[in-house]
Structure 1
């Protein structure tokens, strides 16, 4: 393997010491970890995508620490290292643990906190013995693109460059826009302009819809991922919403009975119902197939990574670093920490098991060891892959699916097929996914530190601290999203509670004090103390979700649409994980739809297109993919303008446009979360529409389109405007 060039020297030589692991650096990094962890949960649940936070954190750190007095480049690196842990942990959490909602279980804060903590620490610990091999010895071979770009930002800040003004500009304008656009806040104009075509007596294009969630975070995400990826994602949305859904209506509208898995006739279904009933199972099959194909493509890299990792542990474990820049935490910390995490996992499964999944001490120990085995396997794989192609292309979802399939298959053989064992499987898979996700970003951070001359053990401790701090807010944000975006819809269906209903589980008395029916003009909240809570998953009678049954009337009267899984927070990866687990354990899936998605992905792969992006787009609402595509179009226009002006290369990760887009993403996430918090406050106090803007001539779809176009133009304008030192 290529060795580190002998002439290489970091920016800060090993013989030189500067302020690094300071209190203010850890405090500022922890605050950024909380902020970007929450924003990642919000944006990731809605868009199904996450964006690296290391560069925006570095830019903000340079500005803040400079205002507090002279700061060293090593302090700024500790800030971004600590803060970036929040984004990476949140990514792993939202891809897996929301599956508990789809499986019919609550998002217990203590469970989320502990699983995120175990997974995050495993991701850091397993990277310690791999750092010297992957980061140092293969410096000329593994580029770690995000880590290298972050080092460039820190070096520019050390030399006097300032980019923070452009981030704050995006944060300010994006925040004002979101305040007026978000339906939970002022809601001055519609947040999602919608057009449902229906031409002539033949109902041409009936079942289709063109809509866009006109939010700044989607615009920013589309800009950063670029026109090609954004275009492929949007292509998946166009195929689902403008091809498949009209075809389903055209061929199925004459049926008077529901077609499985629907619970109502196709002619009576809205576009959103067509999407949730038929497209989501198809999209789940597509995402699963695309993730496994991506994993198969990387098998050579996986085998090389494992061989190199084992070789590294044997050859480097006993050596003592002589230089500050080569001083890692000792192997005793790795081994002792891993053993401690196994013990914590064992105790957690033993004393706080998933209700209904008590499997005995030996099985709990085996599950804990399984987490460590799969964790080390995929941490090694993830670290090497992100070094080659970057964090955004790492097939973490494919690795997680493989873990879940193996775990669920073991459960199936053992006869553990009750719903609770699905939750146990996602517990194991969630920790592995979080570890793999965090190890990828940990590798990028350690690469940044290697280039600028940081002290490895100080970075590793900062990462540990960042994991602990960020996990505090991630569970809170998940629960806030789930409750703040939930809706209760009136329905009426006769139901025999004592009869056997496949796929429907009685979860006891509904304990919430009160709730409000969506769209109701009544100001009085309906009391729900006498309802029975039902959870449907894979039922031929009820669509997946929760329902409230009234024993007094013998009817299901309310459908409880939880925030996670709704069109506002689709959580596609977590839905996929739940589909895989439930399909294996119950051996009941709408296999026709799932296989359609699988073969769709095979066709896309044969066309030479990245199938994972297409599959995610096919699963998501077109409201999400269209808004992201607009951001990609703006990036394409900026790239053309830069090239035409003789700027040479196109936009980079530290360009003015990318910095402004990062500000838009942060603004959409922060102000959007404030809207969720306001919604929770209104539900708790009984007040409604506290900040609601009165509906005027502005409340029309065309106003929403114009405002979004203006925001997109601001992105285009500031992306072309060069950075200057006055933007500080």
Structure 2
């Protein structure tokens, strides 16, 4: 991080650009100008929602500082374990705790404090997720010989496009799926946790400090157990993050994750550790496609519901629908097995 800041300072002072296309980035002066413009927009949005100069200044400063550090954290984690394993939710929870604590220390409470806390958390969440994605893209581009400057320009364009595409899609899902976001179908457990913390810090509800204390104690115990297992070179480890995620995820999500983990373990346990990624790679790609397809189908069904089409009655009997569902499931399993079989 220090080296990156020092490099930015040198580029700003020298103004020199590397001419080689594969080493040319967006000029540091342009990056600084974009950052200042974004800060101004964030400050304006904070002021519009909170209505106070003091809380706007405080929340903007906290937002910028936390965004800066979590960008480095997310980039580092992506470099180690990949973008899909970046603990964005953990960083967002940290942002909620820090932001809520800072606002509480400065005697801000009520709706404006809750809005400011959630605003800071939202920005930090977007920063961490985008930083990981950008690093992943730049690494891929470096491997295939892409020009960083062009990648960075398209990444900026992609963020702008996503900012206009995501709100209508989320509204479509919220308004046309039973219960909306936060309901049974789209439970959003992490968002519920963020809201509970924000309400507690802002005084809108009582924060269960005893449960937080118990959680800290359990976390310390798990870390101690994991340290013992690592010290004695056990193959089994008690990593804190998966345990914590498994504790607050709904049972309907935690169960298939557990089953998938067991299947992956059984499939790869007889393979050398160095070959685990190769063995599981095709399965991960196929599973990612299934998840993306399910998400797209949800958006499509929500779109049909918005048009007034609540059901598609094909005139089939219950037995026929059940049989088709079973056959489809069997076909998917067979396809999954054939497509995910590792290439020799």
Q: Which of 231, 243, 267 is the aligned partner of 1:614?
A: 243
2:278 to 652, 669, 687: 652
| 1:628 equivalent in alignment to 2:323 | no
Moved more, 687-696 or 384-393: 687-696
Matched, 1:310 2:2: no
- Cross-structure match for 1:583: 200
Deviation at residue 660 of structure 1 after TM alignment: 2.5
SS in 2 for 1:401: helix
Q: For residues 653-668 of structure 1, what are the structure 2 equivalents within 5 Å?
A: 655-668=281-294
Other structure's SS at 1:604 match: helix
* Closer/same/farther in 2, CA of residues 461 and 564 from structure 1, 3 Å limit: same
Asked if the contact 2:75/2:135 (under 8 Å) is kept, the reply is yes
Structure 1: give runs of 5+ residues left out of the alignment. 1-304, 487-561, 724-728
SS in structure 2 opposite 1:329?
coil
Question: Is the 1:327–1:455 contact (alpha carbons within 8 Å) kept by the matching residues of 2?
Answer: yes
**Corresponding residue to 1:720 among 320, 334, 341:** 341
Deviations 1:117-146 (A, max 9, x none): xxxxxxxxxxxxxxxxxxxxxxxxxxxxxx
Does structure 2 retain, via aligned residues, the 8 Å contact 1:400–1:433? yes
Paired residue for 2:229?
none
Superposed CA RMSD in Å reads: 3.2
Deviates more, 1:605-614 or 1:439-448: 605-614
Q: Superposition pairs for residues 17-416 of structure 1, below 5 Å?
A: 305=1, 307-317=2-12, 318=14, 319-350=16-47, 353-354=48-49, 357-360=50-53, 362-416=54-108
CA distance in 1, matches of 2:124, 2:135: 16
Q: How does 1:312-711 map to 2 (within 5 A)?
A: 312-317=7-12, 318=14, 319-350=16-47, 353-354=48-49, 357-360=50-53, 362-486=54-178, 562-586=179-203, 588-608=206-226, 609-636=238-265, 638-639=267-268, 643=271, 649-652=275-278, 655-682=281-308, 688-691=310-313, 696-697=318-319, 708=329, 711=332
CA distance in 2, matches of 1:596, 1:708: 42
The residue that corresponds to 2:233 in the other structure is none
**C-alpha distance in 2 between matches for 1:636 and 1:705:** 27
In structure 2, do the counterparts of structure 1 residues 346 and 693 end up closer, same or farther at CA, with 3 Å as the change threshold?
Answer: farther
Task: Tell me which protein shows more helix as a share of its residues.
Answer: 2
CA–CA distance in 2 between the matches of 1:347 and 1:631?
45
Deviation at 1:706, TM superposition (A): 8.2
Q: Distance in 1 between matches of 2:51 and 2:11?
A: 41
1:595 CA drift (Å): 4.0
Between the two structures, name the one with larger relative contact order (CA 8 Å, sep ≥ 6). Answer: 1
* Larger radius of gyration between Structure 1 and Structure 2: 1
Take 1:600 and 1:694, find their aligned partners in 2: how far apart are those partners?
53
TM normalised by structure 1 equals 0.41
Q: Structure 1 residues 598 and 716, CA, compared in 2 at 3 Å: closer, same or farther? A: farther
Distance 1:634 1:654 in 2: 11
Partners of 2:82 and 2:116 lie apart in 1 by 31
Aligned match of 1:118: none
Which has a greater percent of strand? 1
Give the gaps of 5 or more residues in structure 2. 227-237
Asked if the contact 2:92/2:124 (under 8 Å) is kept, the reply is yes
- Look up the SS of the partner of 2:52 in the other structure: coil
Aligned pair count? 330
Cα drift, residue 596 of structure 1 = 4.1
- Assess if the C-alpha contact under 8 Å between 1:634 and 1:712 holds in 2: no
Secondary structure, aligned partner of 1:589: coil
**Relative to 1, partners in 2 of residues 1:384 and 1:651: Cα closer, same or farther, differing over 3 Å?**
closer
Distance apart, 1:651 and its partner CA: 4.5
| Contact 2:177-2:185 within 8 A present in 1 as well | yes
The separation in 2 between residues aligned to 1:582 and 1:340, in whole angstroms, is 31
Q: C-alpha displacement at 1:440, in angstroms?
A: 1.5
Matched-pair contact (CA < 8 Å) for 2:114–2:198: yes
Cα distance change on mapping 1:713 and 1:626 into 2, 3 Å: farther
